[in-house]
Amino acid sequence: MLHANPRPALRFLLLVLLSPAALGQAEGLTPHRVSALRLVTAAHMSPDGSKVAYVLSVPRTAGKDEDGTAWTELYLLDVDTGRSTPFITGETSVAGVAWVPSRAEVSFLTKRGKDRTRSVYTIPIGGGEARPALAHKTDIRTYAWSPDGKEIAFIAPDEEPEAEKKRKEKGFRQEVYEEDWRRSRLFVAATEPGAKPREIAVDGIPQALEWSPTGDRLAVSVAPTPLVDDVMMRTRIHVVDAKSGEVRGKVANPGKLGQFTWSPDGSELALISAADEHDSFAGTLMTVAATGGTPKPYLQSVDLDTAHVDWLDKDSIFTLLDLGLDTAMFEWKAPNVMNTHVKSGGPSLTAMSLSKSGQRAAFVGSTASHLPEVYLWKGPQAPGLERATNSNPGLDPAKLAPQESVNYTARDGVKLSGVLIRPLNEEKGKRYPLVLCVHGGPEAHIRNGWLTSYSNPGQMLAAKGIAVFYPNYRGSTGRGAAFRKLSFGDPAGKEFDDLVDAVDHLVATGLTDKDKVGITGGSYGGYATAWCSTRYTDRFAAGVMFVGISNKVSKVGTTDIASEEFLVHAGKRPWENWQFFLERSPIYYAQKSKTPLLILHGKDDPRVSPTQSRELYRHLKVAGNAPVRLVMYPGEEHGNQKAAARLDYSLRMVQWFEHYLKGPGGAPPPHEISYDAARKE
């Protein structure tokens, strides 16, 4: 018997192991690496423009730390030197950061040491220990300093009644659905030691507040009840006297309410509102007299989505705008007369904080190569933005797959866009598997920034040689109210045809293998996933559905936002056309589905009932034409918050797509996940 020389085989093996494709697997992001990434969640510029207080989200390590949500730490950035100083770090949860008026201090909400409730703390910017500034018998949800820094207005819920506590101790833990809620109340408290807060009575449930620059009034957003539907659709602004609580004015915003803020002289309010009650998103900039009334659009001749607004003086307003895939900052000297201070095409900005002079601003921004960080704008004389933090120094942009914006045309001529992450180490001329990652809402949109998280596969799948496309289908935000309304009354109609048209476009470019297309998304993106895995089953080879809708009839009867669903999406009630709702339900097409579907859902989800996932699972299981798996996450609601559930989700999603788009397919992969083995890999 002849013995072959082993050296050529060994040489071939080494070449394979050291090839760019093989190295790409090691270079790209894995679920474990993604689970450890940190990001800035808030940035607050000091009034004098010299400092930025920012919050850093630090994930827990699943399987090692006690399971829970990410920690949130407080840092202080010196604008001139670029130095960041840690102030409150470790196992802590910081929120509600603000600058204390007339004092070199930062305030924040947290629970420390033996605190029974979440309280307001302050810390000097020169360093030192944090000191309690205001505690209450229940958790303080939000607060605002008076202009002189002598008082704090805050919102907190009522205590649980003693009789209710005793009832629960005896085992009577029944819940009366949507009736046994506790009221939140508005208070004002002096910052002197021992001062007792006084309640400011409002007609409804206070949600957010802003103190007037003159110190005599409070603008308070108020909902009729704390039920989510009422908060989303019926929240209105009340202007009240800060001492007596007398109502000075009520603002009749026409639909959903976003941010609101006072003009510097206290005569007006700027607010971001929906254009009308059928508009799905608060994106229209409006102004109104502080005495109340109906607000009017500030930008009369343009339809733009405003993400944030700040007054500079009575005649100047700064806005952060969403412009499709991009963001920009404008100064409006008068309606429709603007100066562009931060042009589109740079980092994707999601928050803005202006100095008192308007000559400096802090942003939270990301790009294709890094997660949200602090960005600085140092005035009109300084071109562009300056990145000021690096929260993930081990993240090497050179080892990430390339990302680009894509424009395409729907079958009916509507111009659409999205963001494509190409396969890592892509070989020219080769076709690759593709996964559509569909955003929820649909009142949301994809910006051309960082796009990878526990449920957004982005760089994780790109590292496996799979392209990922994030489409902004009709009904998305970022392009004004008219574009948002293109999907009104047509759920799963043209909006989801846009997804198939995106696939056809990428196939036509030569990138995508039409027989290896997957789809994923959460909430409304989960609805899209279920729809494309049933109605369009011939077009999709795999799906991963998260907290998604499967039955439009039963969804309306089990969600906590039935009015919102009717007013801004469906435009009709199920009993007006039962057949329409049924035919726009993925279960209607479940019998013919051949698309392997992984379904994941938080077991305590109030928005999209877990029964939506169980229903689709059972129909697909009984039909027996396609592999299906259902994974439930106890303690999670409409999106996973805890470290272990997030990591499990990522691992299962990547495993499912790799198995069906690149692997053997057929029967599902093993349902057990070896978390340590995956970490070592």
489-546 pLDDT tens trace: 999 999 999 999 999 999 999 999 999 999 999 999 999 999 999 999 999 999 999 9
CB 607 within 8 A of CB 575: no
Q: Measured between alpha carbons, how far is 89 from 505 in angstroms, rounded to an integer?
A: 47
295 in any annotated domain: no
Does residue 570 lie within any of the structural domains? yes
- The range of the structural domain enclosing residue 477 comes to 398-680
Residue 426 above 50 pLDDT?
Answer: yes
Q: Does residue 411 register a pLDDT over 80?
A: yes
The confidence score (pLDDT) of residue 21 equals 37
Chain mean position to CA 534: 27
In 423-473, which ranges are E strands?
432-438, 467-472
Residue 457 covered by a domain? yes
When pLDDT is averaged across residues 41-59 and rounded to a whole number, the result is: 97
Cβ-based neighbour number of residue 589 at 10 Å: 17
Dist. CA 52–CA 45, nearest whole Å: 4
* SS3 at position 251: strand
pTM, whole model, 2 decimals? 0.93
The length of the chain in residues reads 681
Distance CA 529, CA 550 (A): 10
Residue 9 has pLDDT above 60, yes or no: no
Instruction: Report the number of distinct structural domains present in the chain.
Output: 1
Tokens of 538: 């011939």
Distance of CA 318 to the CA centre of its chain: 23
Bond from prior residue into 442 cis (ω within 30 degrees of 0):
yes
> Quick one: pLDDT band at residue 681, thresholds 50, 70, 90?
low
pLDDT attached to residue 195: 85
d(C-alpha 320, C-alpha 334), whole Å: 16
| Chain centroid to CA 500 | 25
Considering only CA atoms, give the Rg of the chain: 26
Residue-level pLDDT at 586: 98
Helix (H) or strand (E) holding 269: strand 268-273
Q: Phi and psi dihedrals of 12, rounded to 5?
A: -65, -40
Q: How confident is the model at residue 679 (pLDDT cuts 50, 70, 90)?
A: low
Statement: residue 423 has pLDDT above 90: yes
Residue recorded with tokens 């079958």: 411
C-alpha–C-alpha distance, residues 522 and 533, integer Å: 14
Q: What is the pLDDT of residues 459-503, one digit of tens each?
A: 999 999 999 999 999 999 999 999 999 999 999 999 999 999 999
pLDDT at 272: 97
Q: Which residue has the higher pLDDT, 20 or 85?
A: 85
| 473 occurs within a structural domain | yes
Residue 253 pLDDT level (bands cut at 50, 70, 90): very high
The mean pLDDT of 19-37, rounded to a whole number, is 70
Q: What mean pLDDT comes out for the span 553-565?
A: 95
Digit-coded pLDDT (tens) for 624-658: 999 999 999 999 999 999 999 999 999 999 999 99
Which token pair is 263?
A: 């003009």
Both tokens of residue 84?
Answer: 């960041």
Among 3-12, 337-346, 589-598, the range scoring the smallest mean pLDDT is 3-12
Report in angstroms the alpha-carbon separations of 103 from 145, 150, 342, 450.
Answer: 12, 11, 30, 36
Tokens linked to 191 = 């910052």
Residue 5, pLDDT > 50, answer no
Q: What is the mean pLDDT of residues 87-98?
A: 96
Q: Answer yes or no: is pLDDT of 331 > 50.
A: yes
Whether 578 maps to a domain, the answer reads yes
Candidates 493, 409, 480, 403; CA nearest to 449 is 403
pLDDT given for residue 284 in this prediction: 96
Asked, for residue 405, whether it belongs to a domain, the answer is yes
Helix (H) or strand (E) holding 415: strand 415-421
Cα–Cα distance, 111 to 135 (Å, whole number): 10
Contact 657, 649 (CB under 8 A): no
In a domain, 126, yes or no: no
Q: Identify the CATH number of the domain in which residue 500 sits.
A: 3.40.50.1820
Residue 20 pLDDT > 70: no
What span, in angstroms and rounded, lies between the C-alpha atoms of 389 and 392?
A: 9
d(CA 545, CA 613): 9
- Structure confidence at residue 517 (pLDDT): 98
Share of the chain above pLDDT 70, in %: 95
What is the per-residue pLDDT for 262? Answer: 97
In a domain, 313, yes or no: no
Cβ burial of 295 (10 Å; 0-12, 13-18, 19+) is: buried
149 contacts: CB under 8 Å, gap ≥ 6: 100, 101, 102, 103, 191
At 678, is the pLDDT very low, low, confident or very high (cuts 50, 70, 90)?
low
User: How much is the average pLDDT of 21-38?
Assistant: 75
Distances (CA, A) of 343 to 321, 330, 655: 10, 8, 40
- Provide the sign of the torsion angle of the four alpha carbons 29, 35, 39, 41, taken in this order: positive
CA–CA gap between residue 178 and residue 230 (Å, rounded): 12
307, pLDDT greater than 50: yes
Lowest mean pLDDT, pick from 70-79, 515-524, 670-679 = 670-679
Q: Are strands 198-200 and 184-190 parallel, antiparallel or unpaired?
A: antiparallel
Averaged confidence pLDDT in the chain:
93
What does the pLDDT read at residue 27?
A: 76
Contact 361, 404 (CB under 8 A): no
Model pLDDT, residue 302: 78
HEC-encoded secondary structure of 299-357: CCCCCCEEEEEEEEECCEEEEEEEECCEEEEEEEEECCEEEEEECCCCCEEEEEEECCC
